[in-house]
A and B are shown apart, each in its own frame.
Chain A
């Protein structure tokens, strides 16, 4: 496979077009439910797509990606509450913090193979979760971060207004997706695929497997934490559930549901799962049971994601 010239220009055009559509949407369809949905989707699409950098591109199935989502939410909330610094600075600080945590956890985890890697990331997630629950003076324990997150205006942007937060989330989503796309299509992104497909060959031709795996682990953690920050700004708080293992499970399902082989698959998966979640919560209180059965149907019945099926169909059509 060759890196197509002009690939970036095409991706950037798509990104600009998507952003225009997203920004025009509230004028065409005035619905607060839609606005809320897009903000939440921005958060979860970033979580799912960053996880797919690991799962789909690098072949590293993390079962603990939700921890960075939660850490991002807490880091942003705490730095806004305690440091009273402008939001962009707080976000930068949170990104650096999550990056550092990811370096430590990644350095221990990424040397492990497949299922081991999945389990150790899950274990670290539970460590982070139990620290959040136990460190009550800092995090508020199981009650979550109390008192709301202050969102002072910066550059005329007032994130305490939903319409401003909507624009902010949409811009964040599209920019971060474009950045991840660039990473995925870069030589670095192709080393990831090489490692995924044949780790021995990769190391024989001189690829530093450990370093590349650690790098993508940290990058994915930072993009995932950005999702957590958007959610924290939206609900004006951070809760232990953000860092709970079910968050990682849902993220994995979003990735699988949308498809691992296309870049936008996880975003679609996030959109589908968020909608399904809303429907399931409306009709039954047994959310786990319904969701569990749904996952089984998709995993054992469909066996691949929506965009995987579409991409396959497209390929076959082109060939015939």
Chain B
């Protein structure tokens, strides 16, 4: 515990800028993962416990694609699209079978796939940690803002995540496809009576949500060590984000993710051993004060 250090950090602009930048990238990457989780929950009504594994697969796909093509853009696309396809297969062949079943069955199917994915990546890529390395185009001197150090790659991640978030908002709020998705969330029976194939909508939403997790994994690959089991902590964090923001709300996911990102970075200065605890404390307070989350309708 060192609250004094936190205060002295808040007093210097260089420390604030540095922490803010890393808090923002943690938060925004978390937002992409959590947005996928909350989207799937909002429309399908299931919590996808394999979401962390999708994040991990995104990082591994990106690692391999980067090794083959030497292009970060290709790597990110491979992570996003590859995991979207993976999600599609997972939904069509397995998850779809347990929508109507009780939670126990859904949990077990997800549990089985977390075990399978964690083992598969060890078989395919080996048990040791992988490091993708910083792409050449980002190997440039960092920016100095107000005395703080901000790597160019961080700035890029922030902009890309924000752009993806904006695109997601646009698709859901302003396009016909988004309208269908919102209708499926509100009243799937009516939607299918009106002639829309809701099964297809579910599959699409699941693939999109999985793809977002994969995209986040791929984007983060240069600054994270890629390893089996790397998705688990991000699964828990994105759940906490959705509890804070409200399950099913994408705006809530953004706010919650940014909060968690900042709590993590600033909390690690003041309370290094208690950062995880801080997140839970935050979640607990929200659950007591507003159980449906900041932007949620009801639990």
Which residues of chain A have a CB within 8 Å of any CB of chain B?
Answer: 55, 61, 63, 108, 111-116, 118-120, 122-124, 126-127, 130-131, 134-135, 245-246, 249, 252-253, 255-256, 260, 286-289, 291-293, 295-296, 299-300, 303
Contacts and interface: CB of A to CB of B under 8 A. Distances in A.
26 contacts: A55-B104, A61-B103, A61-B107, A63-B107, A115-B103, A118-B107, A119-B239, A120-B239, A120-B287, A122-B49, A123-B280, A126-B233, A127-B277, A130-B276, A131-B276, A131-B277, A249-B108, A252-B107, A286-B119, A286-B122, A287-B119, A292-B111, A292-B112, A295-B111, A299-B108, A299-B109
Contacts of A111: 287, 291
Contact of B109 (A120, A134, A300): A300
A148 B280 CA distance: 32
B284 A288 contact: no
Interface residues of B, number: 43
Contact of B104 (A112, A127, A256): A256
A118 B276 contact: no
B97 A300 contact: yes
B280 A295 contact: no
B69 interface: no
A119 B108 contact: no
Contacts of B114: 249, 292
Contacts of B288: 108
Interface of B: 46-47, 49, 94, 97-98, 101-109, 111-116, 118-120, 122-123, 232-233, 236, 239-240, 243, 247, 273, 276-277, 280, 283-284, 287-288, 291, 299
A253 B284 contact: no
A130 B277 CA distance: 9
Most buried by A among B102, B105, B107, B299: B107
B299 A116 contact: yes
Given A296-B112, A300-B97, A122 B236 contact: yes
Contacts of B291: 111-112
Contacts of B109: 295-296, 299-300
A115 B280 contact: no
A116 B247 contact: yes
Given A115-B47, A252-B111, A299 B123 contact: no
A112 B287 CA distance: 9
Given A108-B288, A112-B291, A126-B233, 15 more contacts: A61-B107, A112-B287, A113-B299, A115-B47, A122-B239, A123-B280, A126-B236, A126-B276, A252-B111, A255-B104, A286-B123, A289-B123, A292-B114, A292-B116, A300-B97
Most buried by A among B46, B109, B111: B111
Contacts of A291: 112, 115
A245 B232 contact: yes
